[in-house]
Structure 1
Amino acid sequence: MYIDQINNKKFNFILYLPIPLVFLGLIVVNFFATKDVNVEDIMQEMIETFGRNLTFAIAVGQLAICLVILLFWVKFIHGQSIRSLTTSRKKIDWKRIFFSFTIWGIFVAISTLILYFLSPENFQINFDPVKFLPFLIIAILLIPLQTSFEEYFFRGYLMQGIGVVTKSRLIPLIITSVTFGLMHIANPEVGKLGPIIMVYYIGSGFFMGIMTLMDEGLELALGFHAANNLIGALLVTADWTAFQTHSILKDVSEPSAGFDVLFPVLVIFPILLFIFGRKYKWTNWKEKLTGKVYEYSPEIENINTIGNDNE
């Protein structure tokens, strides 16, 4: 139902194209413009010029603006409701968003504490209340907008548009997950940790895409993504990450990647899918992930009703 609900005669493929072409084009241009440049040096120059908080606000604020543009385009150019871009339910289920945010936020906080107590030599206490409080306000205001844009664009706009065009659920799941991962290819983490970090980025895309298709809406993905970026940015920073912030801790260890990158994708994400599946009574996995997209009619509202209750 999440994709099917926009598969009707009003869907205009020509109007659909400009947003993904412009955004994905900017990603490609940015990649080739920075592939021979040390992104870490650029970040340090910006921090020296503007300070950490303003540099962070500029970086995150760009995607917050993109969210406004995307929602305007959907609402006034396509004539599609924001509710239908968000969910197949009759209204956005905020309980789902907060449940997903809470469960992942707690996991990020606990795992950070465990790492700190197991290897305290890898961290420095970075907490400065005078600098942290403005950062906290900026982060709470902007990070949910940044992550919401990425969800509305990849798991929303692209997922629905590609699904309608291909009449498939699997094809948009694959395309949006891979492109979501590739969007991060210019991040300084890739240069420091190597290509293996792309497994995490692309795996995260698949995880949130599966959640969206199985739950027939973006709510769980919106909550998860916001918690991942917000709680992570508040707790830990490092000189080689995309977000260099006035966080509570600073990671001073030599960056490396191995099974710790694969562990969330291979272990934690499947466990979360199991938890969400049990809570929201997901069924018919094969059809929802690989089945066809049907032309919308009132009758198909009964095809995928599981998970549309507001638990």
Structure 2
Amino acid sequence: MRTALTDLVGVRHPIVQTGMGWVAGPRLVTATARAGALGILASATMTPEQLRSAVREVRSRTDAPFGVNLRADAGDARERVRIIVEEGVRVASFALAPSRELIAELKDAGVLVVPSVGARRHAEKVAAWGADAVIVQGGEGGGHTGDVATTVLLPQVVDAVDIPVVAAGGFHDGRGLVAALAYGAAGVAMGTRFLLTSDSTVPDAVKARYLAATAKDITLTRAVDGLPHRMLRTEMVAELEGGAGRLRALYGAVRRASRFRRLSGLSWPGMVRDGLAMRHGK
């Protein structure tokens, strides 16, 4: 199937596998690229050294185009951009809108820039700054998300910009792709659907819990980091939302932050800096 997205990126199918932290690693991205879609590595949960290694691993397994997802507010965003440029990555996607300068730096190096947005005005802004395409995520999307339904947001953005628009939020099969194309999108981006594939390194027990869940088992919460998250209603979410008191909440936050630091390789100052930037939307 040929669309503006496939022509732009050089893939066979108008499908994007999103950059999910700890999920979108070399194995999943390689499988996605080999299948003809656009796989995106999640760099936010990697150190810069791990990112470079992951890019080289994918490159060693396939000649197909793939991308890397970045957090524009990360303190080391420019270091990660340098890795993308040096390693010849085809696409840079962003969880938050990158600056005009960052877009220009990537485009000057021949990298396609595809930010994710949750509002029409944000799509208009990044398009004016030179973004090559935009992923529009409606409120049905998993993880960090907005509150405007995909069916409302998508046509607004399609009518507002002249670059390819990729629809995200609630898509999981061919019917969704057909619907997105009917709205004027150039393709769809999916996260949870790829999380559940055999090439995903997510444990089978976790996949089983996703598959057993119904619509009533999904919640939208700000208890994780202050931003809206759509996620499974789990014991951890219930504990975070339970209002256990400030001291207990602080203890739990520090304990989980310590675990995250060990997993991510970040320093305490780096975590605090990135957390404050995320909170203030910088």
Name whichever structure is richer in strand by fraction. Answer: 2
Structure with max Cα Rg = 1
Same fold by TM (over 0.5)? Answer: no
Superposition TM-score tier, normalisation by shorter sequence? under 0.3
Q: TM-score, normalised by structure 2?
A: 0.26
Name whichever structure is richer in helix by fraction. Answer: 1
